Structures are given as C-alpha cells and as structure tokens.
Amino acid sequence: MKGLFSALLVPYDENGQVKEQGLREIIRNNIDVQQLDGLYVNGSSGENFMLTTEQKKEIFRITSEENNGAVKLIAQVGSINLDEAIELGKYATELGYDSLSAVTPFYYKFTFDEIKNYYDAIIEATGNNMIVYAIPALTGVSVTLEQFDQLFENEKVIGVKYTDGNFFMLERLRKKYPDKLIYSGFDEMLIYGAISGVDGAIGSTYNIHGKLAKQIFDLVQKDEVAKAYEVQHVMNDIIEKVLELGLYQTLKEVLKVKGIDAGTVKKPMSSFDPAKQEAVKKLVEDFNL
C-alpha cells in the first residue's frame, strides 16, 4: 500500500451524471501514463460530497472493473451519514478494494468519542482496513497525537491521509508510528512529506503530472534532495497555474487537451470559462503534460 496514489477525478455531463467512458479513460491515464501506484476513489477530487449514494457506488464499480487488479485501490466512504458510510464500505469491500478511507465526520461539532465510534463502526461492519482522512482545513476537525493513539488502538486503522501543514505533528506521528501508513495529502508540499518519511502521497494534481510526483518521491528515497527540490519547483509552477485558472475545472481541461473525455464539474461548481482555454493549452505545451 506504499507509493503514490491519484485522488481520482471523475467526469460529469451537463446533467451531473457520471460519464462512464471518460472515467475509464482517466483511470487508464493514471495507471498507464502517469504510472501511479494506486487510486484513491471518491475523495474530494471526485467531488464526492455532492453525489448520491448510487453515484458513489457507480464510481466504485467502474473503477474496480477498469483497474482489474492493476494497482491498489482505496475507497473513501466517509459521510456524516454513518449508515451511508457503512453501506458504501460494504460495497467497496465486496468489490475487493484494498482499504477503506473515511474523512472525519464534519459540520456538527462531534466529540472525539463520537469520531472514534464512527471509525470503529465502519470497520466492524465491513471487516476492512481503514485509513483516516485528516483534512482539518475543510472539516474543521483537528486530531491530536493523543487522539491518534486511540484511533490506532484498532489494528484495522492502518494509517492516515495527512492533509495538513503541521509538519511537527507529522514528524511526531512518523516517529511514534513507524509501522502505520502515512500519506502526504498536499501536492505542493510533497517534498516535505517525503523528507519527513511518509510512506506515500495522495493528490488531485497527480492526475496530470503523476510522473513528476513519483520523481520527487523516488529522488528523496535516494537522498537526492536537491534534485527533488528542482522537480518540486516545476510541479508547483504547474499547481500555481492550475489554482489560478480553477482547480478541478482546469485539471479536467488539461485532460481534454490530451484527448481524454474529462467532462465537466458537478454543480454548484461553476463550469470552466472558455476564455481560459488558450491558457490551458499553453500550460500543457509549456510543461509537456
């Protein structure tokens, strides 16, 4: 389960329905072109929190079929509706996903005991492994080191997707839990996570430049940190431009330039501004995406 995972993009049509063929093309790009080690399915990059339960299942199914055992699969099933999280967890487990993941429950001010019970309930109902998805900037939930101690008491909690800029906490987690999987979740900070000893990373922009992310990770493993920094500079130049143009919209437009039917974003997100099309083409050309 170590390595680089794409936070899988999902193409939608103008009515908000999943474009199956386009999704299969995005999956193939991640596996065959970007040569990533796995796919993180139905996370933020898949616009998951705007989907129906049936759409989430559809994405899990299509991804499992197209992957056909090629790379590792992690199913993000988190929801503030625990029944839905369990239903999705059972479904992904039946499809053979290598692990589940779940965002910390959000919106309501859940106590830590409630959060821990949420993870334990999903694990008990599915029998599958769990990767905690910690992203406090979006959920408002910060898990302390002592709370991670309690979460990791469940042997089925095998790791964490750590999308946080607190590198002191990351270092403390790495030192205390050398046998747990820690994935870096900030693409623009990949090198810092790699230097801190993470086991891998999960990123949305890897859909278009996964090969660069792998270079960074591999160079750090070889203690060639200066070279890794140079690659991170290039990757961050790309990320900076993508963010300027609109994150998910631009990632999909880049894939379209490459001949992949990446569809549009799910409403209420705004569709891509056609006036920015030339800027996307230039981005693809300038960085050989």
Binding residues for aceneuramate: 44-45, 163, 185, 187-188, 204
Question: How far apart, in whole angstroms, are the C-alpha atoms of residue 206 and residue 86?
Answer: 28
Tell me what percent of the chain is helix, strand and coil, each rounded to the nearest 5.
55, 15, 30
DSSP for residue 200: E
Q: What is the largest CA-CA distance in the chain?
A: 52
Question: How far apart, in whole angstroms, are the C-alpha atoms of residue 238 and residue 242?
Answer: 6
Contact assessment for residue 39 and residue 8, using Cβ atoms and an 8 Å cutoff? yes
With H, G, I as helix, E, B as strand and everything else as coil, classify residue 42. coil
Catalytic residue among 40, 97, 133, 162: 133
Annotated binding site for pyruvate: 202
Is 108 catalytic? The answer is no
Annotated binding site: 44-45, 163, 185, 187-188, 202, 204
11's tokens: 């193409």
Catalytic residue among 72, 161, 252, 256: 161
For helices 247-257 and 206-221, the axis angle rounded to 10 degrees is 100
Is 133 catalytic? The answer is yes
Catalytic residues: 133, 161
